[in-house]
Amino acid sequence: MEREREVVIGVKSQSTLEGLFEKIYRVKAIFKNKEVLRHSHTPANLPHRDDQINQLATILVSALRKETPSNIIMYGKTGTGKTAVVKYVGKELEKISTKYDANINFIYMNCEVVDTQYRVLANLCNNFCSERVPLTGWPTDQLYSLFIEELDKDTKVVVIVLDEIDKLVKKSGDDVLYNLTRINNDLENVKVSIMGISNDLKFTEYLDPRVISSLGEEEIIFPPYDAIQLEDILKQRVVLAFKEGVLEETVVPLCAAYAAREHGDARRALDLLRVSGEIAERKGERMVTEEYVRMAKDKIEQDRIIEVVKTLPKQSKLILYSILHLKNEDDGPIMTGEVFEVYRELCKRTSLDVLTHRRVSDLISELDMLGIITAKVVSKGRYGRTKEIYSTIPFYRVKTLLKEEIL
Ligand code: ADP
Ligand code: MG
């Protein structure tokens, strides 16, 4: 049995350092190609997104007829396939444009990175100008004029995709969208269409009504996937990612069920599957079992909390540390008053300003909203109201992390 031999080599016979990597490298008991489970991988087809793909294609077909496609806003929570669908349709559009001799440019930007008006314009310029525009420093007007001039040099249709557009708007306002949605007035040869993708369903609240009406000419909604749909999405990758027969039958349904509870997030489903496999691999196992999916779920949740804790402001870190310190002592709920006492001591030790009771209570509520702790308001009769605090986070990892960072 080839598989068996490979496992034995990896786990047992590393007695010499010679060929260390080679031996580990050859252990391939679980995965055939792990890369297809990563977020960067674009699958060849996208089950359960036919409606959205068709809607998008119906709007963009205008580009082939050398007309301006309507502007579009696309909404859906993270992991509902928005980016994957847009990239897929964009690729198809560019492919077919050669056949119909239509000059179409499909420009994709992620506004998590390209998050200011300047960066958006500089990025666009760099798509069309021969000379590169610096990434800071020019006046915005000059940048815009250069872009118009270079863009309008030949006849074409340009589709500009602003992915994670909610991040751009929250950080830098909607000026750039106002300008871009009116850009066709300044152009003679070129027709521009704007496509905005948002993870936040309420992001239009941040927009000027004029921007909403021009950007939202068409709307495409990406609903969350249910467990059955997520199973289909996973099954498609399983064949490519895993060796035959290494998954226990319940693994895929369990990953799908967990991710369905997590707002139908395909990314989460894929992460669960990948991490389950990695855990099995690290243990030198030949089967991925249900138990590893549960371990993967815990690991992913813990990692998420650690990431959130890392980015907390210093005062919140101190408050969280106080809570964890108190949790050490007994298992019952912790009261705001107790937290405040410990917090005040810690402030002295770290020479940080002591915030008011009220402010500390607000920050505790914020920790609750981030899902790091649970705080329940209880009435203490004539002593007023207090919060009972519970925490279920990876206690030692978080406490060690905080200790390193604040003390
Ligand atoms: P969003 O942009 O909505 O946050 P993505 O398009 O990035 O979501 O999708 C998250 C992950 O799930 C990606 O790896 C993507 O390839 C995968 N995915 C999403 N929808 C599907 C689908 N219908 N079929 C196959 N894979 C999908
Ligand atoms: Mg996306």
pLDDT tens track for 105-127: 999 999 999 999 999 999 999 99
Give the ligand with the smallest distance to the CA of 273: 1
CA of 163, closest atom in ligand 1: 2
Which pLDDT score is estimated for 28? Answer: 66
The four Cα atoms 328, 330, 331, 336 give a dihedral, to 10 degrees, of -80
CA of 85, closest atom in ligand 1: 6
Which pLDDT score is estimated for 383? Answer: 66
CA of 48, closest atom in ligand 1: 23
Q: Over 60: is that where the pLDDT of 199 sits?
A: yes
Whole-number Å distance between alpha carbons of 191 and 226:
38
Coil, strand or helix at 109 = strand
Q: At what angle do helices 140-151 and 117-128 cross, to 10 degrees?
A: 30
Give the ligand with the smallest distance to the CA of 76: 1
Q: At what angle do helices 251-261 and 266-282 cross, to 10 degrees?
A: 140
CB atoms within 10 A of CB 325: 19
* 93 Cα to the center of ligand 1, angstroms: 19
Please provide the average confidence, as pLDDT, over all residues in the chain: 89
CB atoms within 10 A of CB 307: 9
Residue nearest (by alpha carbon) to ligand 1 atom 7: 83
Which pLDDT score is estimated for 46? Answer: 96
Q: Of the given ranges (5-14, 55-64, 71-80, 393-402), which has the lowest mean pLDDT?
A: 5-14
Does ligand 1 have an atom closer than 6 angstroms to the CB of 60?
no
Rg (CA), the chain: 26
Whole-number Å distance between alpha carbons of 293 and 245:
16
pTM of the model: 0.83
The residue to mutate among 37, 38, 40, 46, having the most atoms of ligand 1 within 8 angstroms of its beta carbon, is 46
Tokens of 400: 């060690």
Q: Which residue has the tokens 């260390």?
A: 20
Could you say which DSSP state residue 31 is in? B
Which pLDDT score is estimated for 4? Answer: 42
Write the DSSP assignment of 221-245 as a string of letters: EEPPP-HHHHHHHHHHHHHHHB-TT
pLDDT tens digit string along 210-267? 999 999 999 999 999 999 999 999 999 999 999 999 999 999 999 999 999 988 999 9
Which pLDDT score is estimated for 268? Answer: 96
Report how far apart, in Å, the C-alpha atoms of 15 and of each of 10, 22, 245 are: 11, 13, 30
Residue nearest (by alpha carbon) to ligand 1 atom 14: 39
Whole-number Å distance between alpha carbons of 397 and 310:
12
Report how far apart, in Å, the C-alpha atoms of 321 and of each of 40, 149, 373 are: 36, 56, 12
CA of 77, closest atom in ligand 1: 3
Does ligand 1 have an atom closer than 6 angstroms to the CB of 46?
yes
Whole-number Å distance between alpha carbons of 141 and 152:
17
Give the ligand with the smallest distance to the CA of 111: 2
Top mean pLDDT of 47-51, 306-310, 365-369, 373-377 is at: 47-51
The residue to mutate among 74, 267, 272, 273, having the most atoms of ligand 1 within 8 angstroms of its beta carbon, is 267
Q: Over 60: is that where the pLDDT of 399 sits?
A: yes
Mean pLDDT of 265-289: 95
Q: Over 80: is that where the pLDDT of 11 sits?
A: no
Q: Which residues pair with 374 in a beta bridge?
A: 390
* 341 Cα to the center of ligand 1, angstroms: 47
Q: How confident is the model at residue 152 (pLDDT cuts 50, 70, 90)?
A: very high
Give the ligand with the smallest distance to the CA of 112: 2
Q: Over 90: is that where the pLDDT of 77 sits?
A: yes
Q: How confident is the model at residue 132 (pLDDT cuts 50, 70, 90)?
A: confident
Long-range contacts of 370-373 (CB under 8 A, 24+ apart): 370/308, 371/305, 371/308, 372/305, 372/308, 372/309, 372/320, 373/320, 373/323
- Select from 86, 47, 40 the least CA-distant residue to 233: 47
> Residue 140, class by beta-carbon neighbours within 10 Å (0-12 exposed, 13-18 middle, 19+ buried)?
middle
Q: Which residue has the tokens 């060929």?
A: 19
Which residues crowd ion ligand 2, with CB under 5 Å? 83
Q: Over 80: is that where the pLDDT of 25 sits?
A: no
Which pLDDT score is estimated for 5? Answer: 41
Does ligand 1 have an atom closer than 6 angstroms to the CB of 39?
yes
Which pLDDT score is estimated for 9? Answer: 43
Which pLDDT score is estimated for 18? Answer: 66
The residue to mutate among 78, 83, 88, 272, having the most atoms of ligand 1 within 8 angstroms of its beta carbon, is 83
Mean pLDDT of 196-219: 91
Which pLDDT score is estimated for 329? Answer: 61
